[in-house]
Structure formats: C-alpha cells, structure tokens
Amino acid sequence: MAPMMTVPPSPGRPARSLAGHVRSASVPCHWHPLLMHVDDQLLALRSWTSNPGQNPLSLAHVRALLCVLDELLHLPLAQGALVLGAAACTDSLLNGFLVLADAFGSFLAALLALRHHASELRAALRRRDPTKVASAARAQRKAAKELEQLAAAVAREAARCARASLASSTELEVARTVAEAINDTAVASASVFLEVGSVADAAAALAASSSSSSSKKQRLALANASSRSKRPATASEEQRELVALEKLQELEQCIGELESESEKVFRSLVQTRVSLLNIHTPTF
C-alpha cells in the first residue's frame, strides 16, 4: 500500500458538515443547493482518500467532484461571485487547474511507459532471459520512482495555488470551494499515482527475484547434471515465476483501465479550467 500524502486535505478550514448549509457569496442570506452538492462530493473524496479500501486506484470520486464543480461554474450566480472576487484569486485557481492538468498529462505518459516496461518484462520472464529481465525490471522501477516524484509535486504545487487563492479572497464561498476542490483533487490524485508506483515497483522486484532464483538454479543444474534432488525447488521456483507473470499481467490490465479513467479526468480538468477562464475573461 502506498504511503499517504502529508498535504492537509483542505487548506484554510475544516470540511463543512453534511448536516449544515452552505452560504453562497452571490446570494446573501440564502443557501445554495449546488454548493451543498459540491460539499458532498468533497467529503466523499476525502473519505476515499483517507480509506480507499479495495479501490486504491479508483478515480471515480475525482471525476464526480470535477463534474459537479464544472456545473457550479456554469451557474450565473456563481459566475457573478467570482467576477466580483480579486483577480489574484482567480489567477491562482486557474494555475491550480493547470497544475492538475499537467500532472495528469504526465501521468498518462508514465502509464504508457509502464505498460511498455511491464510487457517487456513479462516477455523476458517467459523466455527466462535474466539479462533482459534485469534491464526491464530496472526500467519499470525507475518509472515507478518517477511516479512518486510526480505525486509529491502535484500535491505540493496544487496546495500552493489553493492557499494563494484563499489568501486573495477570504470571504467568497464559491472561490473557497473551488480552492478546496483543487487541493483535494491533488491529494487524491497523488494517492493514486503513489499506489500505481508501488504496485509497479513490487511487480518488478518480484519478477527480478524470480529470474535471479531461476538463473541460480540453472547454474546449479549445469554444475551437477546428474543430481535429481533439486526437483522440489524447481517446482517452487516455477510457482514464483507464475506468480510474477500473473502480477505483471494484472499490472498491464490495471494500467489499461487507468489510462481510460485518467483521460476522462484530464478532459474534465481542461474543461473546468476553460469554464473558469471564461468567467475571468468574458467575451461579448
């Protein structure tokens, strides 16, 4: 299981209660139900991030949050509230979505590379080629390390943008909600990036270990060709090889599913940023 990120789940304030109401800055003394809907998705995402259970690689909650957030940004009252806000606040929000979109672009490229490495590693393991197994395993573990760095970077940079937005506009409920969404999306995404890296690293290590054991066994067999006492060990090592092959196949399948989900998240991030940009620079 990948380690949890240390970035706070929500900058500037605790999560709002589901039992309470949300005040819309654009409608004084009234409660806006769409902001409550965004709050629901924020809390669901935070709950998943703190305890992903059997779905540590899911981006479903991220997609759900971005969908309702874009819906909020198309609301005239929310648009009016953001127009009245400080320009620095909106700039920080735009930068936050840019950070997230760039991160998912890099994540998609990393997934493509990982799928290639996993395929090469699985083929080398089937051929029982220890040299190619070692090379492919090193490449896969390097890609996993790069995912760890990407996770740290997106969480750090998105949190910075969210804090800047909150500092620029402390009284706009809509702006605060969008800033929280940016930060929480980054934390959840970083968790997924870390988990993918952890799974890839573990699969590469298992394959390399299996290949190393098999290579040693082959050398022993050549040194003592007449011996028949090693058969139980051979069966055990073949089982380890099968497990490694299975883990690599699972990794490839997981990457295929994540590629589709990540592309959808990437498009949602771009669309949400466009919606915010249209508010910031309206055309007539």
Model confidence pLDDT, tens digit, residues 5-44: 433 444 433 444 322 333 433 434 344 688 889 999 999 9
Model confidence pLDDT, tens digit, residues 188-203: 999 999 999 999 999 9
- Helical H runs in 51-129? 60-73, 76-84, 87-127
Residue 6 lies in a domain: no
The closest alpha carbon to 196, from 267, 106, 97, belongs to: 106
Taking the C-alpha atoms of residue 34 and residue 65, their distance in angstroms, rounded to an integer, is 12
Residue 12 lies in a domain: no
Residue 215 lies in a domain: yes
The closest alpha carbon to 46, from 70, 18, 74, belongs to: 18
Predicted local distance difference test score (pLDDT) of residue 274: 95
Chain centroid to CA 10: 17
Please give the angle made by the CA atoms of 19, 21 and 23, to the nearest 5 degrees: 160
Q: Which two tokens stand for residue 75?
A: 């609301």
Mean pLDDT confidence for 217-238: 50
Residue 4 lies in a domain: no
Domain that holds residue 55: 33-280
56: Cα within 13 Å, side-chain hemisphere: 14
Helix (H) or strand (E) holding 234: helix 231-280
Tell the burial category of 191 from Cβ atoms under 10 Å away from its Cβ (0-12, 13-18, 19+): buried
Predicted local distance difference test score (pLDDT) of residue 125: 94
Percent of the chain with pLDDT over 90: 62
Q: Which pTM was predicted?
A: 0.82
Residue 11 lies in a domain: no
Is the pLDDT at 82 greater than 90, yes or no? no
Predicted local distance difference test score (pLDDT) of residue 253: 93
Residue 13 lies in a domain: no
Q: Which two tokens stand for residue 261?
A: 């989900």
**Domain total in the chain:** 1
Residue 273 lies in a domain: yes
Determine contact, residues 267/108, Cβ cutoff 8 Å. Answer: no
Confidence of residue 216 (pLDDT cuts 50, 70, 90): very low
CA dihedral 145, 149, 154, 156 (to 10 degrees): 140
Taking the C-alpha atoms of residue 91 and residue 89, their distance in angstroms, rounded to an integer, is 5
Confidence of residue 259 (pLDDT cuts 50, 70, 90): very high
Say which DSSP state 170 is in. Answer: S
* Residue 108 one-letter amino acid: L
3-state SS assignment for residue 31: strand
3-state SS assignment for residue 23: strand
Say which DSSP state 15 is in. Answer: P
Buried b (16+ CB within 10 A) or exposed e, 223-235: eeeeeeeeeeeee
Residue 194 lies in a domain: yes
